[in-house]
């Protein structure tokens, strides 16, 4: 077996394992939202109140993500990742015992704490272990796995609740067992998550390994523009992911359970788009152009859904295509961030930039919940489309900032 073949297999092993744990983190993003309609009946909560539960998750995750980037850079990604998976076990157990809003908030906070380190830890492992030629595909798999985790959560949690006769507490015990199983696998295969190993040793020796000051990266405009991109694009996703199903049910006069398939279609479409996006990003340097084309198409489709003029099947198809457009931009987005990252600051940069994801969810979810409570389901999709346009503007600014820095 040649060295190249061995390295390729090692890379594939690491990519698959990081993808699995990333899927688990995204599954726990949706530990609570799929059962929101049930909680409105069981606990008498409004969608705006339940939106605050999501806000709790993402506030804890966002603040923790910025801090965990420093922890990852200091102590390594692997122990942080294993600790995060353990938090998911505890979060699911807490959800199974919730007696009202306070119990749901506790479960959301624990899940947010577990979610916080994933992006700085995942991207530190991938950037240090994976050969540069395979990085676009590694980022593609990473994004796909996250979307698959999102898509699996409503199907599994709602499916288990139905199969168990409406006993949602038992469904959450099953979620705790799932997180425990992933923790055991990650610990068993922990050598593949060793971020102190690097596939680019010779290149690393030729570069400085740290920035002048641990906070020096905060002065780079491109970092904050990347943060803005994540904020806007994630706020758009939050609207669809949290309230897309009930909004579609009102727009198209269909059962919520049926229209939830359209949201699943959006997430699965995004996963498929990321497969193509990995090849697209690997073959061109115009990353921000890719993002503009793909997200513009997605925004146009969302506006079509918002009209309510489509058939229910047409709305499902349009959302799936919008998901593909969103997914196509994913690998280009992650490579754009990598270009803006100074040497030795991977964890800190990804921690800050991906906290824009948490901020987008935290702020957008209660606002869109108020729109839905106010009887404006079309605003869910119009607002999402407008936020995608703002994300496109931010991506173009990232590319411009990078070109100016290269010239300087």
Flag whether 203 is in a domain. no
Flag whether 201 is in a domain. no
Closest residue by Cα to residue 351 from 10, 27, 116, 79? 116
For residue 220, what are the domain limits? 8-194+211-407
- Which domain CATH number covers 369? 1.20.1250.20
**In the prediction, which pLDDT does 251 show?**
94
At 20-30, the pLDDT tens digits run 999 999 999 88
Flag whether 253 is in a domain. yes
Flag whether 279 is in a domain. yes
Flag whether 206 is in a domain. no
* CB-CB contact of 322 with 268 (8 Å): no
- State the total domains in the chain: 1
**In the prediction, which pLDDT does 5 show?**
61
**In the prediction, which pLDDT does 9 show?**
87
Closest residue by Cα to residue 188 from 338, 73, 286, 82? 82
How much of the chain, in percent, has pLDDT values that exceed 90? Answer: 38
**In the prediction, which pLDDT does 403 show?**
64
Flag whether 188 is in a domain. yes
Q: Which portions of the chain are predicted below pLDDT 50? A: 1, 198-211
Closest residue by Cα to residue 291 from 392, 223, 389? 392
Flag whether 261 is in a domain. yes
Q: Which run of H or E residues covers position 38?
A: helix 36-42
Q: Find tokens 């280009």 and name the residue.
A: 332
DSSP state of 30: T
Flag whether 47 is in a domain. yes
């Amino acid at each position: 077996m040649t060295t190249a073949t061995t390295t390729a297999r090692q890379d594939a092993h690491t990519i698959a394992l990081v993808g699995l744990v990333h899927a688990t983190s995204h599954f726990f993003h949706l530990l609570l939202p799929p059962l929101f309609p049930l909680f409105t009946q069981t606990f008498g909560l409004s969608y705006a109140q339940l939106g605050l539960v999501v806000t709790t998750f993402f506030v804890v995750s966002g603040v923790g993500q910025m801090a965990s980037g420093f922890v990852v850079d200091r102590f390594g990604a692997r122990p942080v990742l294993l600790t995060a998976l353990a938090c998911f076990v505890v979060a699911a157990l807490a959800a199974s015992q919730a007696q009202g809003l306070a119990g749901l908030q506790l479960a959301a906070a624990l899940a947010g704490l577990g979610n916080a380190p994933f992006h700085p830890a995942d991207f530190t492992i991938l950037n240090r272990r994976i050969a540069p030629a395979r990085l676009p595909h590694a980022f593609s798999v990473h994004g796909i796995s996250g979307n698959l985790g999102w898509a699996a959560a409503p199907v599994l949690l709602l499916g288990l609740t139905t199969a168990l006769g409406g006993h949602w507490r038992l469904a959450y015990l099953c979620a705790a067992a799932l997180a425990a199983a992933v923790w055991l696998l990650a610990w068993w295969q922990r050598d593949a998550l060793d971020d102190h190993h690097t596939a680019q040793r010779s290149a690393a020796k030729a570069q400085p390994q740290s920035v002048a000051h641990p906070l020096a990266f905060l002065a780079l405009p491109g970092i904050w523009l990347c943060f803005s991109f994540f904020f806007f694009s994630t706020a758009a996703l939050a609207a669809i992911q949290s309230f897309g199903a009930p909004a579609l049910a009102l727009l198209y006069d269909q059962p919520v359970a049926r229209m939830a398939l359209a949201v699943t279609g959006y997430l699965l479409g995004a996963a498929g788009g990321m497969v193509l996006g990995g090849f697209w990003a690997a073959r061109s340097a115009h990353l921000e152009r890719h993002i503009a084309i793909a997200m513009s198409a997605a925004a146009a489709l969302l506006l079509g859904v918002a009209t309510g003029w489509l058939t229910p099947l047409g709305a499902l198809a349009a959302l799936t295509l919008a998901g593909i457009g969103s997914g196509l931009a994913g690998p280009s987005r992650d490579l754009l961030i990598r270009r803006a990252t100074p040497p030795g600051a991977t964890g800190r940069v990804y921690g800050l930039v991906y906290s824009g994801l948490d901020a987008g969810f935290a702020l957008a979810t209660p606002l869109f919940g108020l729109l839905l409570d106010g009887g404006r389901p079309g605003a869910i999709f119009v607002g999402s489309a407008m936020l995608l346009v703002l994300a496109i503007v931010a991506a173009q600014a990232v590319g411009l900032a990078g070109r100016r820095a290269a010239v300087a």
